[in-house]
Chains A and B, each alone.
Chain A
């Protein structure tokens, strides 16, 4: 497949692995966080850690959209479907995120909720047009990648005067999450989570550009290399991070130059700015309440805001006590450090959200790497 296979070349990957091994300094440990679930997935799916020297450790970050979705938010969506009789549309992985009372959207569907998986907000709009007598709610989740399509859908619904469409907005912001991790006591005070740099998001950065990360490089002295989601991108980014660490530099470098510019996608940013504004605070799974870390729909488009339209009040629900998703999302623990990993919590019966999506650290390790814990 053109433009894909080139970035999955095993020979080049092994060469890059050899370059990394030759570049790391003896006696020095390197610890890098890949922020995005897309990178976590690539690392596990292609077995990249086998190609890295043992002194390079990858820490999985919180950039998996369904992993950071708190139970209370999924509860809202389930309530809309089961109690208010709306047609609830959302993206694939979201269907399996565990919620209160042993439910998930998938299980709520089995109980009679009209819950539909869509590939795009365009599909959700079409469902609204096709069902003028039903309320159709798009459960919008994700980072800056999925935000512009939601903005477009709301603008489109507004232009068409679509009366039965609204959005339950749970869009979150990448830079806030990175700040939160860098400010966490484990990184800042105690040093229990050594972090020498970040692999910066791929698709998110196509929208927001590389500029927002410059603050982290300057303020926290952490190198950031923005990388694509293909395995060679990840390997190249690791090499670039190792070099920065060796040279004592902390800069934003762009490995994903084929898609990411410094300013990002200005048109998409304009649309997002037209429809959304910052929320004062938002609860994340694992990071708890993070100020100014998410978006809400502006007053001008209030008619399309499901929270206003259905008078929803958010109730925070604590995670299962034994679940270590929070610590895993912050890089404090690894999946296999969790007592219920692979025993109580499995992909078939996820207790925590990190076990849901293959972008989640737990599901990725369970599905692709657990043999390493056993041999």
Chain B
């Protein structure tokens, strides 16, 4: 990255300007886009090095060497701006959370942008500002990045891929294969908010109360949970496929079954209503700021108290148990006392007709 001397070039026209192919061609416009937009908002000592890669100090945890956790996530959400967030903060939260649920302290992020020719620069600036705010809040600076521009019609405005690294102290082991029969299942709050916010916006539906995405960085909440010393087995953020997909994943990896209690699963009334309307099941709807927790049964209360003391875990609750089951089914006791499977989703959730 280089610095274009101000005064000799017109500044980026954030009000009326659009992304064009020159912004990705490696010439002056690209440098200008990077310096006036990306570096301006995301800048920090590592990004400011301006080299092809960032040189970072070896990670330590409380002064001792730790293990690296690395995760990557591509974001292709439509619409780009939605109630409660936008693709910018979402692309940070997604990766922060993927690193944090491993028990790691988030350290650094990279960001790759694929921009579509014609995309308004003003909107891009809003997205980058939102990313910067989210990265700052999560304490995970963007230290390196990339920008490409594709022709009109070959992208969907903006795609963002973020990669994050974090440091994991020795001795802390969390993972999808660690659930054991007898463990309990907790969630940090109400389910389905993000997916329903997106769907409502996409379908232009308005409800009496706006449904906001729950997109948030969970590293603070997770740190508070780890500090209790409770026996945690596995943490996951139930994004695509919702709670159902996350639990089926863990059940398969751990070779266990699960029993959920429908009555205990928190869904906001407005989200439940929107799901009724759109023909969706909230158990399969994406979340971007929620945590699924598998832990030792005796430590559940301790953890729930710690979670409820944090703003992002205020509505944390117990929703089910890990059980022995050779078929690794996730089952649910319905509000009726009957039982049913909570299966993997087959393809996309499509509304029923009748």
Instruction: For residue B167, give the distance in angstroms from its CB to the closest CB of chain A.
Output: 39
Residue ID in chain A nearest B275 by CB atoms: A1
Binds B, one of A209-217, A297-305, A315-323, A367-375: A367-375
Cβ of A91 and Cβ of B353 under 8 Å apart? yes
CB contacts (< 8 Å) of B327 on chain A: these are 371, 374
CB contacts (< 8 Å) of B339 on chain A: these are 47, 50, 371
- Count of A residues near B, CB < 8 Å? 54
CB contacts (< 8 Å) of B351 on chain A: these are 91-93, 119
User: Given A106-B347, A369-B341: A146 and B329 within 8 A (CB)?
Assistant: no
- Interface: A159 (CB within 8 A): no
Cβ of A51 and Cβ of B337 under 8 Å apart? yes
- Interface: B334 (CB within 8 A): yes
Task: Fill in one digit per residue for A63-96: 1 if any B CB lies within 8 Å of its CB, else 0.
Answer: 1111000000000000000000000000111111
User: Given A49-B338, A51-B337: A346 and B346 within 8 A (CB)?
Assistant: yes
In the complex the two chains form, what is the Cα distance from A346 to B346 in whole Å? Answer: 9
User: What is the interface residue range for chain B against chain A?
Assistant: 20 to 34
Q: Out of A51, A66, A92, A369, which one reaches B340, CB within 8 Å?
A: A369
CB contacts (< 8 Å) of A347 on chain B: these are 343, 346-347
Cβ of A10 and Cβ of B350 under 8 Å apart? no
Q: Out of A4, A13, A96, which one reaches B350, CB within 8 Å?
A: A96
CB contacts (< 8 Å) of A368 on chain B: these are 340-341, 343
Cβ of B335 and Cβ of A92 under 8 Å apart? no
- Interface: B273 (CB within 8 A): yes
Q: Out of A36, A50, A92, A370, which one reaches B338, CB within 8 Å?
A: A50
- Interface: A61 (CB within 8 A): no
Cβ of B346 and Cβ of A8 under 8 Å apart? no
- Interface: B8 (CB within 8 A): no
In the complex the two chains form, what is the Cα distance from A44 to B99 in whole Å? Answer: 38
- Interface: A141 (CB within 8 A): yes
- Interface: A255 (CB within 8 A): no
In the complex the two chains form, what is the Cα distance from A91 to B331 in whole Å? Answer: 29
- Interface: A45 (CB within 8 A): yes
- Interface: A352 (CB within 8 A): no
- Interface: B27 (CB within 8 A): no
Residue ID in chain B nearest A38 by CB atoms: B354
- Interface: B272 (CB within 8 A): yes
- 12 more A-B residue pairs beyond the given contacts A1-B273, A96-B350, with a C-beta to C-beta distance below 8 A: A38-B354, A49-B338, A50-B336, A50-B339, A64-B354, A65-B353, A92-B352, A229-B354, A348-B347, A359-B354, A368-B341, A374-B327
- Chain B residues with CB under 8 Å of chain A are 203, 263, 269, 272-273, 276, 278-279, 327, 329, 331, 334-341, 343, 346-347, 350-354
